[in-house]
Copies of this chain bind each other. A is one copy, B any other.
Amino acid sequence: MLKIDPTLIKDLKAFVGLDIDELELVLSDAHSSLFVKGEAFFREGEKATRFFVLLDGFLQVIRTTENGEQVIMRHFAPGDVFGIAPALRRDTYPATALAVADCVALHWPNRFWDIFEKKVPRLVQNAHGAVGERLNASQDRIVEMATEQVERRVARAVVRLVQQTGKKTAKGIRIDMPISRQDIAEMSGTTLHTVSRIFSSWSNLGLVAVGRQKIEVLSAHKLVIIAEGH
């Protein structure tokens, strides 16, 4: 069904530990699709029909409140599994997944979950590990929201973005993705105004260079100090 070479994907986080035969089996049932920037992989509450592995691009998972506010729950990068409702015995997607850049993703109908569970158990175990990390990250974030003030939360959001998409530049590390003040606000539970003020002050301190939808970290070290507090 697909003409992807197993060796191209064998190092992706989702497929770590699979042997060639397993990779081929998995690929033989996979569909591959392009999702253009802005397109939704699935939306909150929608019936879950398939699960995904991101091959290329970048996506964000968001939730929307009744009064229309958005919260960015997290980002996914190539190699991540997502939309794995069957791993959690859910039949709807709990959030909306949006392509932030053009994306290529593999996906399978949900019925393959149980098949892979038997035939490629490592794949399913990897997914459970990913769930564990996400649960842990969620709880970290709850603690952060409950105890830290805004500047630190914003710093952490930026540090996370740097870790996920940072590209080395002459002067520092640039976030390789158009990110607005509003996006950062939705990642850290504040307003774009407050983010703007914080960025201005960091910029004055020579910590970052910011522009329209772009952020370059000049002193990752100092930013981490703000984020972690020591």
List residues of chain A with CB under 8 Å of any chain B CB.
63, 65-66, 69, 71, 73, 85, 87-90, 94-95, 125, 128-129, 131-132, 134-136, 138-139, 141-143, 145-147, 186, 188-189, 229-230
Q: Note all chain B residues with C-beta closer than 8 A to A90.
A: 129, 132, 136
The answer for the CA separation of A85 and B135 in the assembled complex, in Å, is 11
CB–CB A135/B136 < 8 A = no
Q: How many protomers of this protein does the assembly include?
A: 2
Contacting pair B71 A147 (CB below 8 A): yes
Given contacts A65-B147, A66-B229, A71-B142, 17 further A-B contacts (CB under 8 A): A63-B139, A71-B147, A85-B132, A87-B128, A87-B132, A88-B129, A88-B131, A90-B136, A94-B132, A94-B136, A94-B139, A134-B135, A135-B138, A138-B139, A138-B142, A141-B142, A142-B142
